[in-house]
Amino acid sequence: MPIRRFIQRLRSAIDKVQQQRHDPEAVAPAVHSMDALALLLGRGDRTIVAKMCATPVGRRLLDERHDILAVVSDRDRLRALPEGSLGRTYCRFAEENGLFPEHLAEEVRKARVATGGLVPEATPEVAYLHDRYRDLHDLWHVVTGYGTDMAGELAIVNFQATQVGYRAMTINAWIRLFAIAIQTGRLDILATSLRARARGRRAAYLLAVDWERLLPMPLEVVRRELAIEPLAPYRTWDYPAPAVA
């Protein structure tokens, strides 16, 4: 990378990360900081595509550009699935927490209006995979067991980043983790994310999974099939109300 471009991207990343620190739970600053860091440090695009192509299911989903957003946002269908199934549990989790993937997708597209709503400087294949990654985030909360508190969010980000080799996401998450640990003395939050990375390394590659097939199945059966290890209890944590405000 030419030195001038590197300096420009470094300045942009610093600026965007600072903006996210001022509004830590908003979508647009998070997207902007992550995209800026990714352009500076790399997203791991080769890894994410190679892992997707390594299995027949992953290759098929990529070739078909399977629309997982339409599946996970169809709450009428999810509610009709058996009690205890992955899909029914996910639907209840989403509704109780007000987490709707179609709304998140729209917010992310708006944040990326300058690049046509897609992750910047990406091939169509990579852009599709990053959209799939986004649309599955809350379903993976259910499969892994991490909550929507900030400690749980940072843990699942580390789980996901380990799976796909997303260097910029890992660095961003650890910057935030160390800042929180220093400010609060909560070293256990670091430990929770370290355990999440270990779980991510040992689990199946979740991006290449046929989730439509798994949604009607019992959640515990799905976890065994995907080698999702039981979640060790962790202490929740969230930004204090004044910080969020």
Residue 53's pLDDT is 96
Q: Which long-range contacts (CB under 8 A, 24 or more apart) does 222-227 make?
A: 222/86, 222/143, 223/143, 226/143, 227/202, 227/203
Cα three-residue angle 219-225-226, rounded to 5 degrees? 90
Flag whether 6 is in a domain: no
On average, the pLDDT of the chain sits at: 92
Flag whether 26 is in a domain: no
Flag whether 16 is in a domain: no
Mean per-residue pLDDT pooled into runs of 10, the chain (245 residues): 85 88 84 91 91 96 96 97 98 96 96 94 94 96 96 94 88 86 90 96 97 98 98 90 47
pLDDT tens profile 211-242: 999 999 999 999 999 999 999 999 999 877 54
Residue 131's pLDDT is 96
Q: How many domains does the chain have?
A: 1
Flag whether 13 is in a domain: no
Flag whether 27 is in a domain: no
- Give the domain extent around 97: 43-244
Residue 241's pLDDT is 58
Flag whether 38 is in a domain: no
Residue 124's pLDDT is 94
Cα three-residue angle 132-203-216, rounded to 5 degrees? 60
Residue 196's pLDDT is 97
pLDDT tens profile 116-148: 999 999 999 999 999 999 999 999 999 999 999
Residue 245's pLDDT is 38
Contacts of 166 (CB under 8 A, 6+ apart): 38, 43, 44, 48, 160
Flag whether 84 is in a domain: yes
Flag whether 223 is in a domain: yes
Q: Give the bridge partners for 85, in sequence order.
A: 218
